[in-house]
Structure 1
Amino acid sequence: MARIIRFHDFGGPEVLRIEEIDPPRPGPGEVQIAVKALGLNRAEALMRAGRYIERPALPSGLGLEAAGIVTRVGDGVSGLAPGDAVSVVPPISQARYPAYGEAATFPAAHVVRHPAFLDWTTAAAVWMAYLTAYGALIDIARLGPGEAVAITAASSSVGLAAIQTANRVGATPIAVTRTSAKRQALLDAGAAHVVSIAEGGLDTRLAALSGADGLRLAFDAVGGPMVEPLAAALAPGGILIEYGGLSPEPTPFPLFTVLSKTLTLRGYLVHEIIRDAARLEAAKAFVLDGLAAGALRPVIARVFAFDEIVEAHRYLEAGDQLGKIVVTV
């Protein structure tokens, strides 16, 4: 038997329950692991609340990231064996392959033997953040040396991964944050500049920091009214990549700014990298090389115990953390 976390109704953190099940054996092409740590993501809070792009049948499990030890492999699996220490690339469906449990099953293609120098907590914090940042900044936008990129929600795990990814390729990361409270922490995390939304003039301040060529790229998790000043800060031909919708307010389309500057506004989900085997392999190589070089270093905001999953989700939704929230099993 193994303990898993499920919810029987959509709602707040209090709907999460710890239940016992007899885990089924992994099917063909699948791997089962004994979970040691879980990385928490806002996508899980959204699915639990019934507001995610995936709306599961109830009751449902959830969770996108885990690290642990391989216990079983299904038919046709090669390159992985019981006893391997692994971490997990987020699956396309967290309802089909939920991570929240003492035992969890995933497609073998999503299971990575991570570097031995990573502990369980750090290993569980790698793949969602760095694949998301790599996919947008490197795979899609081809960010390179000397370029500036504006990164909103900069204190999130993805925001910090984007800062490190930009630095890894010699670009200039500009952290955009709600207030100046985390300014020094973001500078310490590698941001070249920090811009507080509360101070106003976001577009002019971003443009002033972006160099002679202007700001070619903005990476935004927020949406809402912020889209307009971000678009205004972009140079002609610039790209605004939207990967989240944290703002509860409507998101306007800055039509005349887009037309006058011939901008590209692009929606992005990490799924497009994960679904493409060749792009995923390139992403994994970039991340693993960065980890080995010490250029990519997951930042852990706080660690909770498995029995504290409700408290962990409340902390996640408060939005005050710097980095990743991890639950140990």
Structure 2
Amino acid sequence: MSRTIQFAKAGGPEVLEFVESEVRAPGPNEVRIKVKAIGINRAEAMWRTDIYIEPVKFPASLGYEAAGIVDAVGSDVKGVAVGDDVSVIPSFSMNSYSTYGEVIIVPDYAVVAHPKSLSYAQAASVWMMFVTAYGALVEDAKVTRGDFVIIPAASSSVGLAAIQIANYAGAATIALTRTSAKRDALLKAGAAHVIATDEVDLVKEVMRITDNQGARVAFDPVGGPTFAKLISALSFGGIAFIYGALSEDVTPLPVLEMIAKVTTVKAHNIWLTSGDETRRKAAVEFVLKGLESGALKPVIDRTFKFDEMVEVHRYLETNGQFGKIVVTV
């Protein structure tokens, strides 16, 4: 028997319920894992409220990331054995699989061996944050030395990953945060520059930092009114990625300015990388090398216990965290 977390209707954290059931055997291409830690993502709060990029099928489960020990493998699974320490890379629909459970079943392509240097909590935290940033900044934009990268919501787990990924590629990062309260922490996390957007003019600051050239890339999970300012802060031929909708306001596009600057606006999500076998393997190799060299490091804000999952989601929605929230099982 195993406890999992499900919800029968969309709503606040209180809709999450513990359900105890017998764990089935894995299918031919599935892996069963005894979970030690679960990585928590903003996407799961959106899933819980049924405002995610796909509709929820009720009753629903949730969760994209976990780390633990392989308990059983399907008949066609290769390269993964019972007893292996593994983590789960987001690469499936939560209508099909989920990770909020004591024992879970996931597709074999989502299972990654994690370095011995990482704890279970760290291993559960790395894949969503690093692969999302890698897909946009390395795989697509190919950022390199001499590039400036603007990173809004820089204290989020993906924001911090983007700082590390851009640094790893040789680019200079401009971290955005609302006030100066997190400035020192962001600089310590590797940001070359920090702009407190409630305190100074965003566009003027970016232009000052870049000698009036603008940044080549913006990597934005927020949208809303500030998105137009990001366009203004880009260089000629710059790229603005949008991978989230933290702002509930309308996201305007300054069309004439975009035409004049030949700006590219691209929607981005992790599935472009994790949903393709070749790209997924390249991303995993890149992240593993970065972790092993120390260029990439997990950043955990706070850990909770599995029984505290409702409180976890309440904390997630305060937007006060610096890095990843992790649940231990």
TM-score over 0.5 (shorter chain):
yes
User: Equivalences for 1:1-329 in 2 at 5 Å?
Assistant: 1-211=1-211, 213-329=213-329
Deviations 1:28-87 (A, max 9, x none): 211110010000001000010111112222111000000000011112111000000000
Provide the C-alpha distance between the structure 2 equivalents of 1:238 and 1:18, rounded to a whole number of angstroms: 47
Aligned-partner residue type, residue 203 of structure 1 = V
Shift of 1:147: 1.2
Instruction: Give the conservation status (yes or no) of the 8 Å contact 1:91–1:97.
Output: no
Provide the C-alpha distance between the structure 2 equivalents of 1:143 and 1:28, rounded to a whole number of angstroms: 40
Provide the C-alpha distance between the structure 2 equivalents of 1:305 and 1:49, rounded to a whole number of angstroms: 22
Provide the C-alpha distance between the structure 1 equivalents of 2:95 and 2:161, rounded to a whole number of angstroms: 26
Shift of 1:3: 0.5
TM-score by length of 2: 0.98
SS at match of 1:28: coil
Q: 1:211 to 1:132 in 2, by over 3 A?
A: farther
Provide the C-alpha distance between the structure 1 equivalents of 2:141 and 2:92, rounded to a whole number of angstroms: 22
SS at match of 2:198: helix
Shift of 1:200: 3.6
Provide the C-alpha distance between the structure 1 equivalents of 2:300 and 2:98, rounded to a whole number of angstroms: 22
Stretches of structure 2 that go unaligned for 5 or more consecutive residues are none
Provide the C-alpha distance between the structure 2 equivalents of 1:194 and 1:212, rounded to a whole number of angstroms: 17
Shift of 1:257: 1.2
Shift of 1:106: 1.1
Shift of 1:209: 1.3
Deviations 1:276-309 (A, max 9, x none): 1111111111100000001111110000000000
- What is the Cα-based RMSD across aligned positions, in Å? 0.9
Shift of 1:210: 2.4
Instruction: Give the conservation status (yes or no) of the 8 Å contact 1:227–1:254.
Output: no
Shift of 1:325: 0.2
Moved over 6 A (4+): none
Provide the C-alpha distance between the structure 1 equivalents of 2:248 and 2:85, rounded to a whole number of angstroms: 40
Deviations 1:83-113 (A, max 9, x none): 0000011132022111000011111111011
Stretches of structure 1 that go unaligned for 5 or more consecutive residues are none
Provide the C-alpha distance between the structure 2 equivalents of 1:267 and 1:204, rounded to a whole number of angstroms: 26
Aligned-partner residue type, residue 138 of structure 2 = I
Shift of 1:218: 0.5
Provide the C-alpha distance between the structure 1 equivalents of 2:50 and 2:251, rounded to a whole number of angstroms: 20
SS at match of 2:225: helix
Instruction: Give the conservation status (yes or no) of the 8 Å contact 2:39–2:124.
Output: yes
Number of equivalences = 329
Aligned-partner residue type, residue 22 of structure 2 = D
Shift of 1:214: 2.9
Shift of 1:207: 2.0
Aligned-partner residue type, residue 282 of structure 1 = A
Q: 1:231 to 1:266 in 2, by over 3 A?
A: same
